[in-house]
Amino acid sequence: MSSQPTPPADDVAAERAFLATYDAAAFPHPSVTVDVATMTTFDGALHALLVRRSDHPAKGRWALPGGFVGIEESLDGAAERVLRTKAGLGGIFLEQLYTFGAVERDPRTRVISVGYYALVEASRLTAAKPDVGETVLARIDVPWTGESGGPVRALDEAGRELPLAFDHAEILGLVVQRMRGKIDYAPLGFQLLPERFTLRQLQQAHEAILDRSLNKDSFRRSIITRGLVAATGETEKDVPYRPAELYRYAQAENG
Partner DNA sequence: TCTGCATATATGCTTCAAGCATCGAAGCGT
Partner DNA sequence: ACGCTTCGATGCTTGAAGCATATATGCAGA
Summarize the chain as % helix, strand, coil (round to 5). 30, 25, 45
Find which of DNA, its own copies, none residue 241 binds, CB within 5 to 8 Å per kind: DNA
CA 107 → CA 165, 167, 178, 223, 231, distances in Å? 11, 11, 27, 47, 53
Find which of its own copies, DNA, none residue 163 binds, CB within 5 to 8 Å per kind: its own copies
Cβ neighbours of residue 237 closer than 8 Å, sequence gap 6 or more: 243
Does residue 19 belong to the site contacting its own copies (CB under 8 A)? yes
Nearest Cα residue to 37 out of 178, 187, 203: 178
Q: Closest approach of Cβ 54 to its own copies, in Å?
A: 12
Please tell me the distance from the alpha carbon of residue 240 to that of residue 250, in angstroms, as a whole number: 28
Does residue 182 belong to the site contacting DNA (CB under 7 A)? no
Find which of DNA, its own copies, none residue 26 binds, CB within 5 to 8 Å per kind: none
Indicate the residue among 7 and 227 with the shorter CB distance to DNA: 227
Per CB under 7 A, the segment of 75-83, 128-136, 144-152, 194-202 that binds DNA is 194-202
Q: Site map for its own copies, 36-55, x if CB under 8 A?
A: -------------------x
Cβ neighbours of residue 186 closer than 8 Å, sequence gap 6 or more: none
CB 50 within 8 A of CB 162: yes
List the one residue from 185, 240, 251, 253 that touches DNA (CB under 7 A): 240
Find which of DNA, its own copies, none residue 30 binds, CB within 5 to 8 Å per kind: its own copies
Question: Given the DSSP bridges, would you call strands 153-155 and 229-235 parallel, antiparallel or unpaired?
Answer: unpaired
Question: Given the DSSP bridges, would you call strands 135-141 and 45-52 parallel, antiparallel or unpaired?
Answer: antiparallel
List the one residue from 68, 98, 144, 219 that touches DNA (CB under 7 A): 219
CB 112 within 8 A of CB 33: yes
**Interface with DNA: number of residues (CB under 7 A):** 21
Find which of its own copies, DNA, none residue 102 binds, CB within 5 to 8 Å per kind: its own copies
**Interface with its own copies: number of residues (CB under 8 A):** 53
Q: Closest approach of Cβ 43 to its own copies, in Å?
A: 24
